[in-house]
Amino acid sequence: MSSISTRRLQKELKEINNDCPQGIALVKAEDFETWYLSLQVLGESVFADETFLLKFRFDNQYPISSPSVTFVVDEHFQAPLHPHVYSNGHICANILGDGWSPVLSVTSVCISLQSMLASCTKKERPEGNDRYVMFAPEDPKKVDHFSS
């Protein structure tokens, strides 16, 4: 039984393996539920020389429903210090909420986030970070203001 998400992710995986955009690399994709990709910002940037790890989670209605995307925060990785990224790795981006569309893909989300980091000039956390992190559920898609 192949769900729509499996069909689509098989194709995306093939494409990522063939031709992955610069600065983005597939780290782990052992199933069609959770993928990890690394992200680096190219060129001059406040994030030069930093590597971030993105975790994508897909439900069986992907790509009709958006993936849940977070920066991994563990002993090896930190969330980028960015006004739209909370310290727990949650990302505030319209394309991951009600701006999502099935035209977008894992790669295009990575490129968008890469460009979001590249355009950053001041490394700081979003306002209210501590309070948000204290109350946020683990999955950002379960936060009201992320996915309306």
Partner 1 sequence: MSSAPEPPPKDVPPETITLVESSIPTIVEPNASGTSAEASDMSSLSPFELQQLTQNVLDETASSRPLITESIPLAALREEYENGSGSFVQQIDYLRSLGFTNIRRTKGDGDCFYRSLAFAWIERMLISPRNQTVEVAKALSMLDSALLILKAAGFQELAFEDFYDVITSLIRHIVVPEPDGETLTPQILLEAFQDLEGALRISRNRKLGLTGIDMTVSNCIVVLLRLLTSAVIRTDPEAYAPFLFHPESGDEIVPQEFCERYVEACGKEADHVQITALTKVLKLNVEVAYLDGHSDDGSVSFVEFQNVPLDDNENPLVLLYRPGHYDILEKLNAK
**Sites for partner 1 among residues 4-63 (CB under 8 A):** 4, 7-8, 11-12, 14-15, 18-19, 60-61, 63
Torsion of CA 111, 116, 119, 122, to 10 degrees: -140
Tell whether residue 139 is a contact of partner 1 (CB under 8 A): no
Tell whether residue 120 is a contact of partner 1 (CB under 8 A): no
Give the DSSP letter of residue 42: -
Tell whether residue 130 is a contact of partner 1 (CB under 8 A): no
Q: Is 110 a catalytic residue?
A: no
63: which residues sit within 8 A by CB, 6+ positions away?
Answer: 4, 5, 8, 102, 104, 105
Which among 76, 78, 74, 58 is positioned nearest to 66, based on CA atoms?
58
What gap in Å lies between CA 136 and CA 90, rounded to an integer?
Answer: 9
In the complex with partner 1, which residue's Cβ is closer, 74 or 84?
Answer: 84
Binding-site residue total for partner 1 (CB under 8 A)? 43
Structure tokens at 56: 């994508």
What are the residues binding partner 1 (CB under 8 A)?
1-4, 7-8, 11-12, 14-15, 18-19, 60-61, 63-64, 84, 92-95, 97-105, 108, 111-112, 114-116, 118, 126-127, 144-146, 148
